[in-house]
Amino acid sequence: MTKSFIYISLFDVLYIINYFTYHRDYSFNGGSVSLGIYDDRLEIWNYGLFPRGVSLNNLTELNKSIPRNPLIANVLYYHKICETWGRGVHMIMEECVKAGHPKPFYEQNSLGTLLTIPFKHSLGAGYTTQSVNSDIPSLTIRQKEIISILKQYHELTKEEIRFKLSKSISERWLRNELNALKDSGYITYKGNTRSRKWSIK
């Protein structure tokens, strides 16, 4: 007899995608709202940063609606797909916690925003975590882990870094993280695109 668990409802996933759709920065040509399902989490990536005045620190404290694309937001509201009083973040948090999951969290790099929804049960085998530098401020957990890996192995290609990360991430997200670390002066690279190797600066 198999035992199944409901991780997150389809309604909630669609709500989050619609929420990200009217907050997306459409100046990025070819960008999109991307969804990834892993053994232990759901990740939704969106091109575009928070509106001015909104940060990771005060995100859950605000009850004000500041859509990046008000025309799209109005269409979604007219069809009763979204609400208008700035409760999107709170609703996502509340529904996930109500279903028994750990609280979702947001991360940002120089290009966009990642929402991670951890699952209360893993879909597959467990994984081991790697120690991460906690003394590096203003970086995401993954960026700290990348720095820790490069300190240990000195020079690695993008695929080698991806293989050594404790959690599987997309090639695009890793590329964004590496570029953000390079732009911040933490890491550098040498070689052309195919044979490029990254190292601590």
What domains, with CATH codes, occur in the chain? 10-118 (3.30.565.60), 141-200 (1.10.10.10)
Pairing of strands 197-200, 187-190: antiparallel
pLDDT, tens digit (0-9, with 9 covering 90-100), for 25-40:
777 666 678 888 877 8
Please tell me the predicted confidence (pLDDT) of residue 10.
65
pTM for this one?
0.53
- pLDDT of 71 strictly over 70: yes
Q: Is 36 exposed, middle or buried (0-12, 13-18, 19+ CB in 10 A)?
A: middle
**Average pLDDT rounded to a whole number, residues 102-116:** 82
pLDDT, tens digit (0-9, with 9 covering 90-100), for 144-177:
888 888 888 889 999 889 888 877 778 888 888 8
Which position has the higher pLDDT, 53 or 151? 151
Which residues, 6+ apart, have CB-to-CB distance to 30 below 8 Å?
Answer: none
